[in-house]
Structure 1
């Protein structure tokens, strides 16, 4: 019984001791595990925080980028809508709006004039108004001044509606019909332009002919191919049909004529200015000779004055130096060159007799 009691007692004590040891070891192990985990997890935590920061920065940049991209997309959308509207306007101008069609033709004409080398409001003038003796008001698109004082008129108000329909025609019959309409439109414009009688305008120095400008080369080529006499018929009415290429060649020729005239005018001006320059140069040389003579005369006068100052017995230098040696108080001295020229010694102890001898 005592053995059993001792055994039971030892068992309880062992259990308590084991439990105490276990608790101590568990606490120590837990703390050690915390330290180990902290050592292991701290770099990972820093990396995770850095990663989170980068994710936030990237997300912010992504938001800004998408906002900027959205603005650009909206800008592209507006630009696309604007271009679409301009395309519609241009198509409308080429298809049927005669006013816009005329403005487009004038724009092409203006570009050709700019490339020609002629200067606006000097060699050519846009939309000038004139009045006929009958009181009719005329406003040609462009008036080109020629070197001989005459004028040349360029008109670009030609309709190309039929030509646009000809280009888009699907059947041969439609092509023939629109080609006839295109020819009729050109002939009608030639007649209208001829009836304006620009050569009767007294303010314009009687232009010999008027240039009818067709802004599309192929539009005139198709019409000329269908009607070989179109150009000659228009020329008989003092109308010359031109396209951008032929008009540019004509304007280049006019610009060359203006250049030659300006060179001739410049040559005359150079000759006039050269004569005037020669006259001025001759006067300048004459004045220089006079100045030289005056300088020679002044030199002679100067030499005479210096002789009176330094030469001869009792010259002025000797006299004033004698006064100084006699006791006249002076703070300054005569230049050595003048004293030597006057024959006056520089020592102060020379007596008056020696000075007279000198």
Structure 2
């Protein structure tokens, strides 16, 4: 029975080990399939794939959807026309950074799938032209002029496939500078990731700074309350001292007189001795003190 259990465990362990590479292969195949579909798909398919890549990159950078970035938010310009940037990255101090995802994969895919030099050149020109068209279209949106968005003068144009942007920039060295003149910054996965990591770090620093300020604020409130508490204690102490002085004055009037027996204590006891009907007695210590005074007077 023991050997049977050990053999079963070994088979199970082996099956798990064999399944891990298989699962990884399935995951990689799924990503490759998505890219292949995007390369061969229509503009809508390519656009959806690019936006998905951008959103994944944002989340991998530690940014939260709905907190650090917004998607497909509609704004209106001064003329009332609707404007909908793909992504708006929130920055501290109520500032925003606009990122639009533009995918140009059709000509790029055809460029690599042909061996004919003339066709390659034709598809390469079409690929560069497509990217330049995206730059022109994005520059005309004037997202940075929307009064609801406090953004820098430039917009980020995200090209989700590193090789697509690299190939275009090699074929057209002026692509980046021409885009910059239109206040457009072309970014791919690696360059945008560096920017997003910086944004994520800024948010962490902002959170830490707010925490420090909140600690300072709470500490100030605590100190102020402590000072108020000390002041209250001193006030109570002063009132207790005054009460003690008033008590001592009252007791002095109660137990002192020019002659023993003429104190209020002594006179009250004389009334009782004369037959006053009383159910209570004065404290013994006061009576003893009164008797002591009388004895001292008699001895004197």
TM range (shorter): 0.5 to 0.7
Q: How far, CA to CA, are the matches of 2:212 and 2:116 in structure 1?
A: 62
Alpha-carbon displacement from aligned partner over 1:61-120 (angstroms, at most 9, x marks no partner): 9xxxxxx9xxx9xxx9xx99x979956851453222233332222222223323445554
| Structure 2 unaligned spans of 5+ | 6-11
Contact 2:71 2:87 in 1 (8 A): yes
The RMSD of aligned alpha carbons is 5.4
Q: 2:130 is matched with which residue: 185, 190, 195? A: 185
Corresponding residue for 1:228? 173
| Structure 1 unaligned spans of 5+ | 1-53, 55-60, 62-67, 346-352
Question: Against the structure 1 CA distance between its residues 339 and 217, is the aligned structure 2 distance closer, same or farther, given a 3 Å change threshold?
Answer: farther
Q: How far, CA to CA, are the matches of 1:150 and 1:161 in structure 2?
A: 35
Give the TM-score of the pair, scaled to structure 2: 0.66
Quote how far apart the aligned CAs of 1:125 are.
2.0
Quote how far apart the aligned CAs of 1:344 are.
7.6
Corresponding residue for 1:16? none
Q: 1:263 is matched with which residue: 204, 209, 213? A: 209
Corresponding residue for 2:184? 239
Q: How far, CA to CA, are the matches of 2:100 and 2:267 in structure 1?
A: 101
Q: Secondary structure at the match of 1:303?
A: helix
> What aligned pairs does 1:92-171 form with structure 2 within 5 A after superposition?
92-97=36-41, 98-147=43-92, 150-169=95-114
Contact 2:100 2:156 in 1 (8 A): yes
Q: Does 2:39 align with 1:90?
A: no
Q: How far, CA to CA, are the matches of 1:273 and 1:229 in structure 2?
A: 57
Q: Which has the higher contact order (CA 8 A, sep 6+)?
A: 2
Give the TM-score of the pair, scaled to structure 1: 0.57
Question: Against the structure 1 CA distance between its residues 113 and 135, is the aligned structure 2 distance closer, same or farther, given a 3 Å change threshold?
Answer: same
Corresponding residue for 1:198? 143
Instruction: Report how many residues are paired.
Output: 288
Compare CA radii of gyration and give the structure with the larger one.
1
Contact 1:95 1:164 in 2 (8 A): yes
Corresponding residue for 2:9? none
Higher helix content, 1 or 2: 1
Corresponding residue for 1:251? 196
Q: How far, CA to CA, are the matches of 1:221 and 1:163 in structure 2?
A: 11
Quote how far apart the aligned CAs of 1:297 are.
1.0
Contact 1:310 1:317 in 2 (8 A): yes
Q: Does 2:239 align with 1:294?
A: yes
Quote how far apart the aligned CAs of 1:141 are.
0.9
Contact 1:152 1:208 in 2 (8 A): no
